[in-house]
Amino acid sequence: MGAFSRSRRRRRLTPVLLAALALGACPAAPDSPEAQVRALFAEAESAAEDKDVADLKRLVSERYADASGNDRQAIAGLLTYNFLRNQTVHLLTRIHAIEFPEPRRSTATLFVAMGGAPILGVDELARVRADLYRFDFDLADEGAGSWRVTRAAWRRATADDFLP
């Protein structure tokens, strides 16, 4: 695959990458690491739907690096590009797992549907022609419960992935 094709694919997926941080809250102790990670996801969902690149960039670690060669600045640039191309951003997210292999490190797998119209549930995925993705994130507590994304990987998902 050529560099142009990889670059174009990264541009299409990057808004989803950071928008995918957004998740609804599940019960967890208010100050627990899981609650802090979920709060980051909820903040990211709001920022993505508002197309607020500055808020999303703040949730990405200075140490961010992914397999596509993106760093924090590249992610911000790709988000800006894609938000300019899309009039609206609407998300439907599902957590598959949040784990803590070390006290200050978390991994999360989630599924994200991104569309140009509100997505009220899984049964609407076909109607709104949403793009469906699976994301695997690494996050780090960079001090005092300030969790940031340090790595992300993504691939296409199916509507079945969104079912419980």
For 92-123, the pLDDT digits (tens) are 988 889 999 999 999 999 899 988 889 988 88
In which residue are the tokens 């992300």 written? Answer: 152
| pLDDT at residue 4 is higher than 60 | no
Please enumerate in sequence order all residues whose Cβ is within 8 A of that of 99, keeping only pairs 6 or more positions apart, or say none. 106, 107, 108
For 6-62, the pLDDT digits (tens) are 444 444 445 445 444 444 334 456 689 999 999 898 899 899 999 999 999 999 999
| Nearest CA-CA partner of 16 in 125, 90, 104, 77 | 90
Q: What is the CATH number of the domain that holds 106?
A: 3.10.450.50
pTM tops 0.95: no
Distance CA 54, CA 148 (A): 14
> Considering its fold, how many domains does the chain have in total?
1
Alpha carbons within 13 A on the beta-carbon side of 111: 16
Could you tell me the maximum CA-CA distance found in the chain, to the nearest angstrom? 47
The parent domain of residue 28 ranges over 3-162
Q: Write out the two tokens for 3.
A: 């560099």
Distance CA 141, CA 110 (A): 19
